[in-house]
């Protein structure tokens, strides 16, 4: 799910390196244009990374909550292969999403509370609570859709407070930003080490993690790393080479195979380490993808509008599941054979397209309050427009 997921308006000042870390500002002569801030102040590779992440988020939900729920009566294991493929990106999509969110938050955390509390904390919690209510109502119309939902007042209260829903990315960002602000002057090791331990403990199943609490615990370290190590991450992206792409891809493949072969997913510390390798690969891949103008531009554009996709896609998928499940399950072998391979790709594109169409319609009918905390108009971009707020 949940960030946060963004708009086309940016805040150029938030893409300038922090003064205390100016020693990292050096760039090699070969620095890539894709890794440098654009004229609008956006970091193109980071937007592209967010674009890839939101595609992976929607695709995973399509696979798990719809595709694998269909009654496939085929002799070929294509559904299982899609499920296995989706699992390989689990250590990548949310850790990378939160790392990029931390990168975008690096300057905002240095600002006075009065300037950021509304947009970075209240704004995110407002979006979380509002869309939680919307999800609860819409998902009631699709009772067979396999996802977390509140079915009672107590359940809704729990999702609002201690056990976040499918929208947990927004909830997590509000908490992460508050914690980052409070610990801004604490030595880096005293911030990252406890967060890394929390991630390892949660991934090892040593904490009670109902709902989406596991993701909440596991990804704090990546947000804080993105925030505090932003200059190093930008340097990594700026100097990404084809050789590094091959090496990081190979390293990610090796650690995934090793983890699966040893059954080490629940071993203490293994999952966070695999996710670190995944993030290194993801940043490198995003920087290299931006060398392809058409693909890089499309992914970066998608990465700037991830908020509406993130908050709208689950209800859309739930309704499509209700519409498609029985007809597709009832197809004969030939019919299912024709759709089984491309079904997740087509449905992922359809869900994203419908989510963006609904977003445009809502804006056209002046329902912008669904994507930003209402308030006086200000020169700066609203919370829903900032790259940190959704994912």
**Residue 74: what pLDDT?**
93
pLDDT tens-digit map of 296-340:
999 999 999 999 999 999 999 999 999 999 999 999 999 999 999
Q: State how far the Cα of 339 lies from the Cα of 74, in Å rounded to an integer.
A: 11
2 pLDDT higher than 80: no
| Of the candidate ranges 94-98, 236-240, 361-365, 377-381, the one whose mean pLDDT is the lowest | 377-381
Q: Which of 21-30, 172-181, 193-202 has the lowest mean pLDDT?
A: 21-30
* 351 and 316 Cβ atoms separated by less than 8 Å: yes
- What's the whole-number average pLDDT of the chain? 88
At residue 378, the pLDDT reads 53
What count of residues does the chain have? 391
pLDDT on residue 42? 64
Q: What is the pLDDT of residue 377?
A: 58
Average pLDDT over residues 131-144: 95
> How far apart, in Å, are the Cα atoms of 249 and each of 86, 244, 264, 331?
16, 8, 20, 38
Confidence at residue 336, expressed as pLDDT on a 0 to 100 scale: 96
User: Which residue is listed with tokens 């103008």?
Assistant: 293
Pair of tokens at residue 227 = 């925030």
Q: Tell me what the mean pLDDT of segment 345-373 comes to.
A: 97
Are the CB atoms for 302 and 131 separated by under 8 Å?
no
Res. 31: pLDDT tops 80 = no
pLDDT of residue 115: 81
**264 CB contacts (<8 Å, ≥6 apart)?**
258, 270
- Report whether pLDDT(107) > 80: yes
pLDDT of 119: 79
Confidence grade of residue 1 (pLDDT, cut at 50, 70, 90): very low
Q: Is a pLDDT exceeding 50 seen at residue 390?
A: no
pLDDT tens per residue, range 70-90: 999 999 999 999 999 999 999
User: What's the pLDDT at 58?
Assistant: 98
Residues 142 and 318 sit within 8 Å (Cβ to Cβ): yes
- CA–CA gap between residue 166 and residue 311 (Å, rounded): 9
pLDDT tens for residues 5-20?
443 333 333 333 343 3
Mean pLDDT calculated for residue range 203-226: 95
Give the pLDDT confidence score for residue 120 in this predicted structure.
Answer: 87
Q: What is the pLDDT of residues 255-308, one digit of tens each?
A: 999 999 999 999 999 999 999 999 999 999 999 999 999 999 999 999 999 999
The pTM for the full model equals 0.86
Residue at token pair 């609904």: 358
Q: What is the mean pLDDT of residues 60-67?
A: 98
**Rounded to an integer, what distance in angstroms lies between the CA atom of residue 145 and that of residue 283?**
34
Return the closest-CA partner of residue 5 out of 319, 311, 307: 307
Question: Which pLDDT score is estimated for 114?
Answer: 84
pLDDT of residue 41: 45
Q: Per residue in 348-358, pLDDT tens?
A: 999 999 999 99
Residue 382 has pLDDT above 60, yes or no: no
Residue partners of 157: CB distance under 8 A and separation at least 6: none
Average pLDDT over residues 133-148: 94
The per-residue pLDDT for 5 is 42
Res 99 pLDDT > 90: yes
């Amino acid at each position: 799910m949940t960030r946060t997921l963004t708009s086309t308006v940016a805040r150029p000042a938030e893409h300038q390196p922090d003064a205390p870390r100016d020693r990292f500002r050096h760039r090699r002569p070969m620095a890539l244009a894709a890794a440098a801030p654009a004229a609008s102040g956006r970091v193109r590779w980071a937007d592209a990374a967010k674009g890839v992440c939101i595609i992976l988020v929607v695709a995973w939900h399509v696979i798990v909550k719809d595709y694998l729920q269909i009654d496939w009566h085929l002799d070929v294991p294509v559904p299982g292969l899609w499920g296995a493929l989706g699992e390989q990106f689990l250590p990548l999509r949310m850790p990378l999403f939160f790392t990029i969110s931390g990168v975008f938050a690096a300057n905002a955390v240095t600002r006075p509370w009065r300037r950021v509390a509304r947009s970075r904390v209240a704004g995110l919690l407002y979006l979380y609570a509002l869309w939680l209510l919307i999800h609860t109502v819409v998902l009631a119309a699709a009772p067979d859709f396999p996802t977390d939902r509140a079915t009672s007042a107590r359940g809704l209260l729990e999702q609002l407070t201690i056990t976040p829903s499918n929208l947990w990315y927004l909830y997590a960002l509000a908490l992460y930003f508050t914690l980052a602000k409070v610990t801004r002057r604490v030595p880096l090791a005293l911030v990252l080490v406890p967060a890394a331990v929390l991630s390892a403990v949660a991934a090892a199943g040593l904490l009670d993690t109902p709902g989406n609490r596991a993701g909440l615990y596991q990804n704090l370290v990546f947000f804080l790393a993105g925030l505090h190590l932003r200059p190093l991450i930008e340097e990594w992206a700026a100097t990404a080479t084809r050789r590094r792409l091959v090496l990081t891809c190979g390293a990610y493949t090796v650690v995934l195979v090793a983890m699966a072969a040893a059954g080490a997913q629940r071993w203490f510390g293994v999952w966070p380490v695999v996710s670190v390798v995944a993030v290194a690969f993801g940043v490198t891949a995003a920087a290299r993808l931006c060398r392809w103008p058409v693909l890089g531009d499309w992914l970066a554009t998608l990465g700037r509008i991830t908020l509406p996709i993130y908050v709208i896609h689950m209800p859309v998928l739930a309704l499509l599941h209700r519409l498609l499940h029985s007809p597709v399950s009832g197809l004969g072998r030939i019919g299912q054979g024709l759709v089984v391979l491309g079904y997740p790709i087509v449905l992922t594109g359809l869900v994203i397209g419908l989510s963006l169409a609904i977003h445009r319609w809502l804006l056209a009918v002046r329902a912008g309050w669904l994507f930003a905390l209402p308030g006086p108009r200000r020169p700066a971009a609203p919370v829903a427009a900032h790259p940190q707020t959704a994912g």
